[in-house]
Structure 1
Amino acid sequence: MSEPNVHEGRHQSQVDGERKVPLQEPSTPPDWWRNCLYWLVTFEAREARKSNYSSMPKVVNYNFFLGGRLRVVSGTERPSLFVLVALLAPMVLYSIFEAQALWRLGRGHAVLVVLFYYFWALCLVSFIKTATSDPGVLPRNVHVPIVGGKFELPRSYYNIITLPSAHPEGKTVDVKYCTTCRIWRPPRASHCSTCEACVLTHDHHCTWVNNCIGQRNYRYFLTFLASCCLATTLCIVGCAIKVARATRLDKVAVAILLIIYCALGLCYPLLLLVYHMFLTSTQQTTREYLKHVPSKTAIRQALSAPEVNPFDKRDRIKNMVSLICQKRGISVMSARESHSAGDWRFVNLPQPHSFEKV
């Protein structure tokens, strides 16, 4: 008789021992915890929930936070994080190395410190409001035609409709149908392919704030640019005063670094602010300006207003006030509201192909 295999016996005993131990199923978090996380960060839609922020990710390219109170565009490179760091870095250096020394100088120098922090805080708040607020997103599927019992787009929906305006000279406005959102867009509204939504008084999609600039956040955008320029200028002035009073340059190395940093960082927002001041004075949005100005002659044409503009009030100050201080209006696609089951605004219809059925 052959001797029993010792190794097989040990292996069999181990297997038998393992079988005796019941397998534990991975524990799932409770519903209240999952709902809390979903309220904090909403990346995808949920059919069971009837809040707008839980259904909007099906039709628009947004992620929502805090129950729809904040939003960011999803699927982008998020250079807005770089802008946020660029805003925080000089404030930290200024607070550690410059603010206290400038405050102790007296003779009104403390006012520079107070004003810097005020405009820097205004800049940060305006940046967050611009990047996370509703720019004026329009609801989808408001004008869905039914031709012959099927979803078809009549040929007339591919035309641009000309309507009269309130302009005293009888100028007209154009209205166009959006085949993606299935709505007749109001005048000055346009579709953003990045956000996948039509936006009221759409100016442009700003990569640096990762959001569209439209009717409901345009004033925040301009406030961000203006306060950024003012805070940067105050930082340069404060650091320059310290450098002028210094006896040795090695003691003001951070001040010199801040002067160079702020001088370089001031160029782009200042040019952008001047550019938008020109646009508002001629009652134009960025899209309207680029649409009517050839790209090869954009710089040469920059100081002229369009010949036909039904929104022009013939006064630069009135144009600026009416465009910058226009009413934000209600959020027609509020993420914090709720909807009933089967709401067509949250149905993602396929893109029509020419004049074919969809």
Structure 2
Amino acid sequence: MTECVPEQAHRQYRNPRVRGNEREDGVPGEQELKTHHSRFRYVLEWVVTLDTAVPDAVNYRSMPRVSNYVFFLGGRLRTVSNTSAHSVLVLTLLVVPAVLFSIFEAQMLWKFGSGHGTLVVLFYYSWAVCLASFIRSATSDPGVLPRNLHVPTVCNDFELPREYYNMITLPSAHPEGRTVNLKYCTTCRIWRPPRASHCPSCDACVMTHDHHCIWINNCVGQRNYRYFLTFLTSSVVSAILCIIGCAIHVSKVSHLRSTVVAILLIVYCVLIMCYPLILLLFHIFATSSQQTTHEFLRNLTSKKAILHSFSSSRTNPFDRGSRARNMLSLACQPRGVSVMSAREKHPTGDWRFLNLPQQHSFEKI
């Protein structure tokens, strides 16, 4: 037997009077609930990445079919699937000294006074920049180019025209009329722009390709080169600051037993600093001659000395006339837009995400 409820009570239950976003009975209104729901979903899509509302035809879901990239957090982070252990090792090498410095050295230096607290602040700042630039260079788009943009129409059985195996020479914007070379990538089926190169580890062509770094598990290219240089510089600076701080601790204390961790950190930082320092010096010399690592290794032959390869070439179409301008133009070059943005949608059957036969034509596919 159902209980009878007055009509007035029904109306009051169905349509309570709302003041702003809150009803008379203190329960949040419908508009406020929608606002909270949208904010909650926004946070989830950025942190947990519940891409339930995103269709399957999204770049980060299709790119693993034609490259070695794998994506996390809805395409916001990427890495190469086959060499991930090296980047985990580097991350561990970065975190361990910071933890030891925080536990054993930071408080001691802060108590010493006389400006030693500034050293602690500088160390944490440079270390934070080092960690952020490492993550940024390791997980961002280096400048990957799309595939299958220049698929030729041929009548022979899956054969490319012979001219596609040649190198095209075009004039550059250099005032002396120097030329640039364009080459067709038979793997990606595109005419690569100048300074782009195909990376076999990533299985993709990258704009202004410098090299593939196993330590960040990503290519270093046009869109993350500045982050890579920042990572090298800040790692060296952080190691130097840690060495100075630990040396101050050792000099201030007479009992060596209390400085065991400080001595270990000094030895650790000296050893760990060598490789990024050498790599940073190499990039300083390479950028001063307007060369990427790929171009330097390509120009380095048994007939040329290493120092000669670092000198400015008269045939380099990208030379700016001085070493300072060369360094600034490469290290501070515009990142440009991501031509293969992982979060962009694409139509079903997009040729950029198809694995075409090695020798192909429109008629035979």
Q: TM-score when scaled to structure 1?
A: 0.84
Q: Could you tell me which residue of structure 2 aligns to residue 337 of structure 1?
A: 344
Decide whether the 8 Å contact of 1:41 with 1:64 is kept in 2: no
Q: Could you tell me which residue of structure 2 aligns to residue 313 of structure 1?
A: 320
1:253 equivalent to 2:255? Answer: no
Aligned match for 1:146, one of 119, 129, 153? 153
Give the RMSD, CA atoms, in angstroms.
2.1
After TM superposition, the structure 1 = structure 2 runs for residues 200-239 of structure 1, keeping only pairs within 5 Å, are: 200-239=207-246
Query: What SS class does the counterpart of residue 201 from structure 2 fall into?
Result: coil
Decide whether the 8 Å contact of 1:41 with 1:65 is kept in 2: no
Query: What SS class does the counterpart of residue 169 from structure 2 fall into?
Result: strand
- Cα deviation for residue 161 of structure 1 reads 0.3
Q: 2-side partners of 1:288 and 1:121: how far apart?
A: 32
Q: Which runs of 4+ in 1 moved over 4 A?
A: 39-42, 295-298
Q: 1-side partners of 2:304 and 2:114: how far apart?
A: 50
* Between 284-293 and 76-85, the greater mean CA deviation after superposition: 76-85
After TM superposition, the structure 1 = structure 2 runs for residues 2-13 of structure 1, keeping only pairs within 5 Å, are: none
Q: Which runs of 5+ in 1 are unaligned?
A: 1-35, 43-47
Q: 2-side partners of 1:352 and 1:149: how far apart?
A: 10
Aligned match for 1:351, one of 352, 358, 363? 358
Q: Could you tell me which residue of structure 2 aligns to residue 180 of structure 1?
A: 187
- Cα deviation for residue 147 of structure 1 reads 1.3
- 1:231 maps to a residue whose letter is S
Q: 1-side partners of 2:255 and 2:311: how far apart?
A: 50
- Cα deviation for residue 314 of structure 1 reads 1.2
Q: Which runs of 5+ in 2 are unaligned?
A: 1-44
Decide whether the 8 Å contact of 1:72 with 1:210 is kept in 2: yes
Instruction: From the superposition, tell whether residues 93 and 41 of structure 1 become closer, same or farther in structure 2 (CA, over 3 Å).
Output: farther
Q: 1-side partners of 2:156 and 2:300: how far apart?
A: 43
1:55 equivalent to 2:59? Answer: no
Q: What per-residue deviation string (whole Å, max 9, x for no partner) do you get for residues 290-315 of structure 1?
A: 11111575545354233420000111
Query: What SS class does the counterpart of residue 63 from structure 1 fall into?
Result: strand
Decide whether the 8 Å contact of 1:293 with 1:301 is kept in 2: no
Q: Could you tell me which residue of structure 1 aligns to residue 88 of structure 2?
A: 81
- 2:106 maps to a residue whose letter is A
Q: How many residues align?
A: 314
Instruction: From the superposition, tell whether residues 352 and 214 of structure 1 become closer, same or farther in structure 2 (CA, over 3 Å).
Output: same
Query: What SS class does the counterpart of residue 308 from structure 2 fall into?
Result: coil
Q: 2-side partners of 1:169 and 1:41: how far apart?
A: 54
Q: 1-side partners of 2:210 and 2:286: how far apart?
A: 10
Instruction: From the superposition, tell whether residues 95 and 52 of structure 1 become closer, same or farther in structure 2 (CA, over 3 Å).
Output: same
Query: What SS class does the counterpart of residue 70 from structure 2 fall into?
Result: strand
Q: TM-score when scaled to structure 2?
A: 0.82
Query: What SS class does the counterpart of residue 311 from structure 2 fall into?
Result: coil
Percent sequence identity is 64
Instruction: From the superposition, tell whether residues 166 and 300 of structure 1 become closer, same or farther in structure 2 (CA, over 3 Å).
Output: closer
- 2:238 maps to a residue whose letter is A
